[in-house]
Structure formats: C-alpha cells, structure tokens
Structure 1
C-alpha cells in the first residue's frame, strides 16, 4: 500500500494537534478566536456588515497572500532538514529514540503545509463570497464561521512558530548525534587497529619473527 501523506499524518496522530490544548498553539488559537468573536459582537458587525465589507475583503485577500509566502517557508524548511540529516545519523537517532522518530518530526511540516493550503483556499473562497450579492447568512452561522476561520488561522501561525523552535532543536540534536556517530567510527577504527596488532603479535610469536623481518618479507 502506498504511503500517502494523509496515511502518515494519521499514523503519527497529527490530526489531534488541532485540539491538543496542552500545546500553546491550541491555547492561543482558542483564546484569540473567542476574543475576536466577542469584539465582532460588541461592534455589531453582523447588523452593520456593509460598513465592514471593504475591510474584510482587504483582510481576507492579504491573509491569503501571506499564507502563500508561509507555504514557501515550510517547503524550504523541509528541504533544509532533509538535506541536513544523514543516513547514519538518522539511524542512530532512531536507535536511541525509537523507529519512526524522524518521520514524526517531518510529519509536523506536512501537517502544517496541509493546514496552510486549506487556509489559502478557504480565505480565497471567503474573499469571493464577500463580493456575492446574496443575502448575509444568519447570526449563529456567521459567528461559527468567524470562530472556526479565526481558530484555524491563529493555530497555523502559532504552529509555524513552534516548528521554527523545533527546527532549531533538531539542528542541535543532529549535531549531537553526528558527533556520536563520528566518535563511534573512530572507536571502531581504534578497536580494529588494536585487534590487528594483537593478531600480528600472535603471529610473530608463533613464527618467531620480528616486525622488521615481517615487513621485509612483505616488500
């Protein structure tokens, strides 16, 4: 079976990141979405929607364009990380932390990329809807729509910030494990040299020849 993006996200339980309120991004998204909803109701935006129409059009278009730039940042981040991680370092990280550790980290970028893509489409749809001559939706549905869109947008912003921090940590972790792998290789080389010296000494003693004689015979 092909390993699609959605399968990887499900396997790494990324969909729960939307509602994991132990994380700062969910807490911030919930708080700001509620605050925005309260402000909109205090300003009676639904009742006087025509007064805010141009502002909403500019905001939705600006956010959609900004998210396109953010998507480029995510793709660049994935490219940098995958080019930095070496095969032997990845193997060592997964030996210590368990199989699938690197996939779990990279799935965060995939999850963010999908969120940004959905948000871009959503904000462009809202932008087009703002030009529609149709009657404005009811207050309840309007408030739900404002809350969900705000939550998704703010969650995406803070999730991106969290990933920047994780990238810095991953860089440090990569350097640490690269040093471990390098030291292990040096240790193996030293062990091999000791083993060869031991075998040669045993050979010299058995054949009663010196190292100089052995080297002369090799020549």
Structure 2
C-alpha cells in the first residue's frame, strides 16, 4: 500500500468500506431514502430561491452540520476509550485463544471507519462553507449530485454511529461473559490447606530426587528445568482428584 499506516491498510484489507454501499443494511436504507427526500427539497429551494438565499442556507447548514460532526467525533473517541479500558489483557488473551479476536477487530475497525467518514465530511463541509461566499450560480445538475452524496454520507454516518452503540453493547457482553469465566476459574484454582500440604510433599520428593543426581554433571539451569519437569510429572501421576490436580497445576505454573 502507498499509505504507510498499518491500521488503514488493515481497514482496506478488511473491505470495511463496502458497508457504505451495502443497501441491505439498515443505515444504508435510511440514508438512501433520506438523501432522496433532502435532494428533492433542495431542488425546490434552488428553483424558487435567489443565489443569496441559497448561499446563506449553505453557510448555515455546512457550519451547523460540521459542528455537530465535531461533537459526534468526540463522542466516538470517548466511547472507544471507555471500551478499550474495559478490556483487560487476561480477557483479550482468552478471546485470542478462542479465536474470537476477528469479531472484536471488526468492531474496532468500525470505529476507525466512522472516524474517517466524519473527518472527510468536516473537510468537505468546510470547503462548501468557503464556496458559499462566492456569489456564483452553480450548475443545477452538479448541485443536485453534491447534495445527494453529502446527504447520504451525513445520514449514513449518524445511523452508523447508532450501529456502533449496538456493537459496544455486544463487546460489553463478551467481556462480561469472559470475565465471569475467569472469576469462576480463579475460584476453582485457589489452593486449600490440603492442597498446599500435598503440593509441599510433592515438592520435597522432587527436590530429593534432584539432589540424588550427580550435581557435577548438571548445570543450575538444567537442574531447575529438571525440577519443574519432575514436579509436574509427579502432580499428574500422584494426584487422582481432578479438581485438586487442576488447582495444584495452576498454582505450580503461576509460581514456576
């Protein structure tokens, strides 16, 4: 890609931009209907209004819509920040292990897509605001095309934001679901007194077996590796209770 931006390149590869003209989606359907209605109304205004009135209307609309889009951009950034702060590394690791990260990435790319749309619209509206000071009558067909495209993009952007709210709710449910599972697993993996006694006995047995080995032929790193390997083997072979074995193994991996 000619643009050296990894997120932008990922956005292009994901073909997320196709949602802009996916006329099966709710936001695209509402946007196309709204754009047609707004274009018809503007055609009537162009027909029966003077150039000064049209320019005044263009200045007012372009300025007000741009300000509203700035507010929407702020809402978008705030929502994304809150969303990212709610995802812990532990939850993200579990999501990655269960191969659900693509679904999360698509939602985050949706925020990126929305940001691109808002930025593009703000620039175009700024240009229109400047053009409105030119006392020049524009071509009617060109004006209608511009009004239709801008109306479609603005309405699409607004309702796409609504869709992102739904995506945020979906992410919250995913995070909550995995967080609950992590809490349950942590509760299951807390060692009780009996577990600690068994673990300590197995550790002593492992140390004794390691000390019996010829210390001159074993380096310190190899000795520690052998200790971990032997202790894990003893836990798996000696502890018959499945839940107890699971608790001890988790504790063993956390410690060593």
Looking at structure 1, the residues matched to 63 and 8 of structure 2 have their Cα atoms a distance apart, in angstroms, of 28
Change (3 A) 1:174 1:28: same
Change (3 A) 1:19 1:121: same
Could you say which residue in structure 2 is the equivalent of 1:11? 13
Residue aligned with 2:23, SS: coil
Could you say which residue in structure 1 is the equivalent of 2:33? 31
Could you say which residue in structure 2 is the equivalent of 1:105? 107
How big is each residue's C-alpha offset from its partner over 1:46-81, in whole Å with a ceiling of 9 and x where there is no partner? 563523332221111011111111111111111111
Residue aligned with 1:76, SS: helix
* TM-score, length of structure 1 as denominator length: 0.80
Could you say which residue in structure 2 is the equivalent of 1:211? none
How big is each residue's C-alpha offset from its partner over 1:76-108, in whole Å with a ceiling of 9 and x where there is no partner? 111111111011111222333534332221111
* Larger RCO (CA under 8 A, 6+ residues apart): 1
* TM-score, length of structure 2 as denominator length: 0.69
Aligned residues: 200
Could you say which residue in structure 2 is the equivalent of 1:67? 69
Could you say which residue in structure 2 is the equivalent of 1:136? 137
How big is each residue's C-alpha offset from its partner over 1:24-48, in whole Å with a ceiling of 9 and x where there is no partner? 111111110011112223x251563
- Gapped regions of structure 2 (runs ≥ 5): 206-256
Q: How many Å apart are 1:149 and its aligned residue?
A: 0.5
Could you say which residue in structure 1 is the equivalent of 2:248? none
Could you say which residue in structure 2 is the equivalent of 1:186? 187
Looking at structure 1, the residues matched to 79 and 147 of structure 2 have their Cα atoms a distance apart, in angstroms, of 30
Report whether the alignment pairs 1:168 with 2:169. Answer: yes
Report whether the alignment pairs 1:87 with 2:94. Answer: no
- Gapped regions of structure 1 (runs ≥ 5): 205-219
Maintained 8 Å contact 1:29/1:155:
yes
Which of 1 and 2 has greater Rg?
2
Looking at structure 2, the residues matched to 86 and 122 of structure 1 have their Cα atoms a distance apart, in angstroms, of 38
Looking at structure 2, the residues matched to 197 and 49 of structure 1 have their Cα atoms a distance apart, in angstroms, of 91
The CA RMSD over aligned residues, in Å, is 2.7
